[in-house]
Structures are given as structure tokens and as C-alpha cells.
Structure 1
Amino acid sequence: MDEDADPAFPGATLAYDLAGCLRFYSRLPVPPLPGEGDPHAVPDFRTLPRMLPLAGLVLGLPGALVMLAAWGLGLGPFLAATLALTAGVLVTGALHEDGLADVADGFGGGSTPARRLEIMRDSRIGAYGGVALMLSLALRIGALATLLDRGGHLAVLALVLAAALSRTAALAPLALLPPARLDGAGAAVGRPSRRTLSTAGALALGLTLLGLTLGLPLLGGILMLVLAALAALGVTALARRSIGGQTGDVVGAAQQGAEIAALLGLVAALPA
């Protein structure tokens, strides 16, 4: 959205970016806002991701509510965590999981950058992708179930915070790497500006501080932030070495790694 354009209402440009994030990252039916341009246009990632932490928070809420309801109904930690992830996958259309599977197949099965990119475009899932998906789901379900056992309501808080932090951390490949393909999604959406990254980072930090006021342990908050960032940077470094750049799939894989790392960081901070 052009920030120089006359806003239709106070805070309009921020609201447009939040709506754009929700449309791009989920299947939620977000209606056009007053004065907004074409809601189906290719998003402009130079500014749009500044609201990504808040969008991630919204995307994590359905799963958190499902987990809270299942836990309250006495279904136990494993079923509650599994139902929570099911809700999250339905909200996002498995967007990030699809990216993780493609990256695992491409990086694991290709011997050259060109071959890896070719495999990543194949809609079929291979052994590497299947194993990566299984491990991602198992680690997140296990982490959430453990948090329900150890911290109760902290698991709900952790789910929404991890959703926000992981999507923010997953901007690392877009910010640090050139597009691996000129015709891919990574090239079409553009690269976040420094101002956009600063705003997104400040919001992510603010949400973590809010989590501390709601009972998140200090060490847990620090570990969630640091480990999410390190995981995304690790995927970024792997993509640089494997394909010389980033794609939408790489961003999805970075989100998955960051979410797993954030949840495990909080588990490590809570006494058994």
C-alpha cells in the first residue's frame, strides 16, 4: 500500500497491511477494507510484513482456543495439542508445511542448485518431505503437550506467541537472500525494507514483553526469541548454500523451524 496516498481512516495503511498479511498467509475470509485497493493483487512485501507479528497472533488464536477447549473438556494434553495444530493447519491451508516438505525434498534429493529447484517445484511429496512433515508435527505436538503438563495456560500463550515470532523470524530469507528464481513467489513479492523489518521486530519484541506480563517466564521469553531467530537464520544459510537464494518454500521452512525452536525453548525453560 502506498503510504503517500490519502488514508481512508486513521491507521488505514497499517490496517491494509494487516489484512494483506492475513489474506496471504491464511484462508481466512478477510473482506476488502474501506479505501483499500485490489485485495487480490500481488502483495508488496516492502511494507506489508511490518504487521506480520500481529497477523501471526491472529493466525495462532484459533488453534489456541481449540486447545483451551479440548484441555478444559478433559481430552488430555496429546489430543488437545493435536487438535490445536489441526485447527492451525486448516486456517493456513498448510502453507508453511508445504514449503517445509518441498525444501526437504529439494535439498535432500537434489545434487545441484538447478535440480533442487526443479524438485521443489514438483507437487509430489517424497521421502524427505514426508519425514520432515512428520517430525515437524511430532515436535510441535510434543512441545505443546509438555507445556500443557508443565504450565497449563502457558501452552495457550506459547502457541499464539510462537505463531507471531516464527512468521516474523521467517522474514530472514527474504531480507538476506536474493530470489533463487526470477519467476517465483520470492521474486514477485519483493524484499522487506529496513523500516519494515524494524517495525516487525519491534512488534515481535513487544508481544514477547506482553507475554512476560501474562506469566511467561523471562528465560522462556528470551529463549523463544533467540531460538526462533537462530532457526530461521539456519534455514537461510542452508538455502544460500543449496540454491543460492530464497523461494517461498524456503520462507515456509524457516517459519516451521522457528516455530519448533520457539516452543522447545519455552519447554526447556520450564522445570519438569
Structure 2
Amino acid sequence: MNPLAELRYFFTALGYFTRVPVPRWVGYEPHYLNAAARYFPLVGVLVGGVSALVYLAALHVFPASVAVLLSMAASLLITGAFHEDGLADCADAFGGAYTRENVLRIMQDSRIGAFGAIALVIALTLKWQTLAALPPMRAAALMVAAHAASRVGAISYLATLDYVRAEGKAKPVAQRLRGLALVWAAVSGLPWLGWPNGFGAPDWRFAATVLVVLVVLRVAMGRYFVRRIGGYTGDCLGFAQQIFELSIYLVGLAWISS
């Protein structure tokens, strides 16, 4: 393993999925992006970490509901609403089209329709209300865990499904993810689920429950993608990341409410 090359791949992942400036020496080649896929969950850790810090700092001044909104705004600013855009595009396409060709055409349309707007409002409101209802340290810990683990779930489709476009913004990423790259992505993104309350003893029962939910959702969404369009697009990956992230928050709230 070449440490300089791996650092280049990490910065490539950071530059692709966030608006954080990266060093100029990193450069860009299409094959960098595919190699960088293993670092997408680690980028999620950083995004979740910033969200958690903004949330905890804001709690000193504002009530939880406002602190959560500020943390969400921070994550949207950092990522440029990259994954939320995929959620909206998929909702418009799958909700408003019947044929494969029309689904793919609507996904490429930069305009947002009724289905996309409704999906965004519901998803963002659910995140807001769920995180605001959680104890502060649990909410902060789940922000990190959800951003990391949801990206593991999203890129896992690179290992099993086909990219359905001849060209597209995700085309450089859309090579089969195998072996050590997939293992590294899982190792960097999934263990955070074991600490839903922050520091302290791990809660592996919670982590196992979340993993079961994620696996069920992954299988269901994967089958749906294949049935509707024969595989995935970049928007499908963004859609999946948002569903996985939200499901982790909901399981976290249900866990303490039961």
C-alpha cells in the first residue's frame, strides 16, 4: 500500500462528496474516484463529526430543536446537499414515471417536481424531529454513526449491482467494489454504531439491530432498483444513503422509547 496514493484517494473522496477544499497536488484522474470509494464512509465520519460538534455547541445557547436544525444546515453546507439531491431526483423519477427510459430521463432533469419536494420535506422533517427528541449525547453519537454507516450501505451496491448509464456523474465510481476496499469501507464506517451514546461501554445489541434493519432495507431497495431500471445510478446511491441515515435515527429513537 502506497501511503501517498491512499492519501490522494482520501482527498479525492473528500473533494467529491463535500465542498471542503483539498490540496492542489491531489489532482484528478477518473481512476482516483473509484479507488477513493473505500474512503466514502470516512468522509461520512467527518461530516457527522462536524454536525455533532455544531449541535453540541448550539445546545449551550438554543433549545434542542434549533440546535438540530443548525447541525443539519452545517451538514448540508459541507456536502452541498449532494445526497439529498439524489433523494429528490429518485422520488421524482420513480414516482412520476413508468418506463425505464422515462425514469432515467427524469433523474437527469435538474428541476425538482412534486414527488421530490415532498420526499425532501418528509425526510428532513423526520431527521429534525427524531434527533431533537433524543438525549443530547445520543443524538450527537448517532449523527456520526449514521453518516458513516449509511455511506457503507450506499456504496455496497457497487459490489453487487450494475451501473445503468453509459455516462454519468457517478460513472468513474461505478466499478465493482471488491475485497479489501469493501472491507476497509465497512471497518471505517460500521463500528460507530456500537456507541450510540457516545463514550462508554459499547451497545452491540443496538448495533446488531441497526445492521439487521440496514440489511433488510438494502435488499429491498436493491431489488427495487433492479426491477425498475436494471441497476443503479448515482442518484440511487444518494437516495439509499438518505434512507439508511434516516433509518438509523429512527431505530435510535425507538430503542430508547421501547
CA contact (8 A) 1:165 1:259 kept: yes
CA contact (8 A) 1:44 1:190 kept: no
2:242 to 230, 233, 256: 256
Give the Cα–Cα distance (whole angstroms) in 1 for the partners of residues 40 and 231 of structure 2: 22
Q: CA 1:160–1:213 in 2, change beyond 3 Å: closer, same or farther?
A: closer
The CA deviation at 1:211 is 5.6
1:121 aligns with 2:113: no
Which residue identity lines up with residue 144 of structure 2 in the other structure?
V
CA contact (8 A) 1:20 1:43 kept: no
Could you tell me which residue of structure 2 aligns to residue 31 of structure 1?
23
1:105 aligns with 2:97: no
What does the per-residue CA deviation read over 1:217-255, in whole Å, with 9 as the maximum and x for residues that have no partner?
A: 333322333323433333222211111111110000000
1:153 to 120, 128, 137: 137
Instruction: Give me the TM-score of the superposition, normalised by structure 1.
Output: 0.86
- 1:120-139 equivalences under 5 Å are 120-139=107-126
Give the Cα–Cα distance (whole angstroms) in 1 for the partners of residues 138 and 21 of structure 2: 29
What does the per-residue CA deviation read over 1:147-195, in whole Å, with 9 as the maximum and x for residues that have no partner?
A: 1xxx221111110111001111101332221111111233332322232
The CA deviation at 1:22 is 0.8
Give the Cα–Cα distance (whole angstroms) in 2 for the partners of residues 185 and 43 of structure 1: 13
Q: Give aligned pairs, total.
A: 256
Give the Cα–Cα distance (whole angstroms) in 1 for the partners of residues 256 and 12 of structure 2: 36
Instruction: Give me the TM-score of the superposition, normalised by structure 2.
Output: 0.91
Q: CA 1:43–1:146 in 2, change beyond 3 Å: closer, same or farther?
A: farther
Could you tell me which residue of structure 2 aligns to residue 184 of structure 1?
168
Give the Cα–Cα distance (whole angstroms) in 1 for the partners of residues 12 and 31 of structure 2: 7
CA contact (8 A) 2:9 2:33 kept: no
Could you tell me which residue of structure 1 aligns to residue 53 of structure 2?
65
Which residue identity lines up with residue 113 of structure 2 in the other structure?
G
The CA deviation at 1:121 is 0.6
Give the Cα–Cα distance (whole angstroms) in 1 for the partners of residues 229 and 218 of structure 2: 16
Comparing 201-210 with 95-104, greater Cα deviation is found at 201-210
Could you tell me which residue of structure 1 aligns to residue 7 of structure 2?
15
Give the Cα–Cα distance (whole angstroms) in 2 for the partners of residues 205 and 109 of structure 1: 34
Structure 2 segments unaligned to the other structure (5+ residues): none
Give the Cα–Cα distance (whole angstroms) in 1 for the partners of residues 8 and 151 of structure 2: 18
1:208 to 193, 200, 205: 193
Structure 1 segments unaligned to the other structure (5+ residues): none
Give the Cα–Cα distance (whole angstroms) in 2 for the partners of residues 268 and 72 of structure 1: 26
Which residue identity lines up with residue 82 of structure 2 in the other structure?
L
CA contact (8 A) 2:137 2:197 kept: no
